[in-house]
Structure 1
């Protein structure tokens, strides 16, 4: 079978499940992974033929996509901020919105020289590794509760020739952080159970729920805990960055202000949703207490 004919069939079978642009992107990713070709290579070789073994490989990918398995998990690779990362069922697939968070940090930090950065909730290591790659004077640490996720992150750091200090830790059980940091960043679980209806099947059925979901009754659980720890482990004017639930931007910003952070900045992503927040640590109030109240974890 000619590859161009297989492409037509591939797209016809996927377009009932995915939009045309997404289906096309899946074909192009498979083309690169299975044949080592770019789109231009197919255009330059319109009569290229797939042998029986190649067709079997393509059919396997197609069948998994029809089951809505993410293509990043099919090939075990994802691109993020110009780097390639191994991903599997123990790690979230890196997303463009998170690239925007990394870009924000890089732009604000590239002239700061030697700084210490902590990423809480490392997953595949995409945030920590990308920051270390683009801020070569920074010393970067990353925490995750999952030993399996950290194993993936360590492989990704080695593959990208980057040093990150990885730490196995349940942040909700942490009494303190391992050091003082100039920057703390986190993309913690923030999707409420009530929002599951909005989640696509390829996410809901395949990506780790431990890294996705939080109870409806306490959606800011991780943010409060991290903000409290940051108060003791950021210097004055240290910077805290979060990726956030798009529906809870104002609530997250208000929480940070109540905990003594200043210049709280809420930022939208490329889709126009509240997705990031950053704040500076003000002169700390009484240890362990937010402004005007008592800490509740």
Structure 2
């Protein structure tokens, strides 16, 4: 089998399941991973012979893609904030809007002072905490998650990116006190309501961890309320609380934070114009 035949089989198999642009993207990503070929090299070498071993890798990936498994889980890796991250079904796949949250935190220059201390609640793959650690080498970064399996991945990612993050396993909903005071507490907690599931893609519904995504319709701000109550007692003077938020619940969350005593509440839109981030202080 040559490269052109491999591509034709790949495209035909996934046609009708994914848009053509996404199929092309999958093929390019897998070709770079399995064949070490760039997109240009794919176009220039249609007659390149594909080994049986490499063809089998593509076939295995095809079967998983047909079942809507995310390409990131198939590869076991992704990129976030220009850094490499391992991911698996115990971790949420990092999103571009979360990169915007990290960038917003980094643009607050007051936190670039030496020995600033950050806590990331619900760290998952560690993408927020590790990106902060990489860009703020003089700061101390802590990260908390309920999942032992997720924390194993996060630890691997901290080693992969050569940064130090202190990881803590805890259920934030049962946590009465945090280990210390912080300059910044940040969280991208579960915020997708059950009623919003019908808007989700199959690859998310079938594979990404429910505990990192969904909240009950009757109490969609549960995590925000618990985290804000902890933050009141564990933010240093002039410390700030950052959240990634549900675009449909910005007003309700703002009211909750006002009731909890927070001020200077600022909502920031993501690149798609959706209310996606919040910053405030006590």
**Normalization by structure 1: what TM-score?**
0.91
Per-residue deviation, 1:189: 0.6
Aligned to 2:89, what secondary structure does the other structure show? coil
The Cα of 1:33 is off from its aligned counterpart by 1.2
Provide Cα deviations, 1:218-263, integer angstroms capped at 9, x if missing partner. Answer: 0000000000100001023211000111110111122112211111
What secondary structure, in the 3-state scheme, does the structure 2 residue paired with 1:237 have?
A: strand
Which has the larger displacement, 43-52 or 259-268?
43-52
TM alignment of 1:55-204, pairs within 5 A: 55-109=55-109, 111-204=112-205
Instruction: Give the distance between the partners of 1:8 and 1:133, measured in 2 at CA.
Output: 41
1:211 aligns with: 212
Deviation at 1:190, TM superposition (A): 0.7
User: Any conservation in 1 of the 2:221–2:253 contact (CA below 8 Å)?
Assistant: yes
CA distance in 1, matches of 2:126, 2:241: 18
Give, in angstroms, the shift of residue 97 of structure 1: 0.8
Gaps of 5+ in 1: 282-297
Deviation at 1:20, TM superposition (A): 2.3
CA distance in 1, matches of 2:132, 2:95: 15
If the length of structure 2 is used for normalisation, what is the TM-score?
0.96
In 2, distance between residues paired with 1:254 and 1:79? 35
The separation in 1 between residues aligned to 2:16 and 2:106, in whole angstroms, is 40
CA displacement 1:28-70 (0-9 Å, x = unmatched):
1101111122112223423211122221111111111011000
Mapped to 2, the partners of 1:15 and 1:137 lie a distance apart of 49
- The answer for unaligned runs of 5 or more in structure 2 is none
Question: Where in structure 1 do 4 or more consecutive aligned residues deviate above 4 Å?
Answer: none
Task: State the 1:83 CA deviation.
Answer: 0.7
1:157-216 CA distance string (max 9 Å, x none): 011111000000101111111110000000011111111111111001101101111111
2: CA distance, partners of 1:88 / 1:40? 29
Number of aligned residue pairs: give it. 281
Q: Secondary structure at the match of 2:123?
A: coil
Aligned to 1:288: none
After TM superposition, the structure 1 stretch with the greater mean CA deviation from structure 2, 268-277 or 67-76, is: 268-277
CA RMSD of aligned residues (A): 1.3
SS of residue in 1 equivalent to 2:238: coil
CA distance, structure 2, for counterparts of residue 52 and residue 235 of structure 1: 59
Contact 2:3 2:45 in 1 (8 A): no
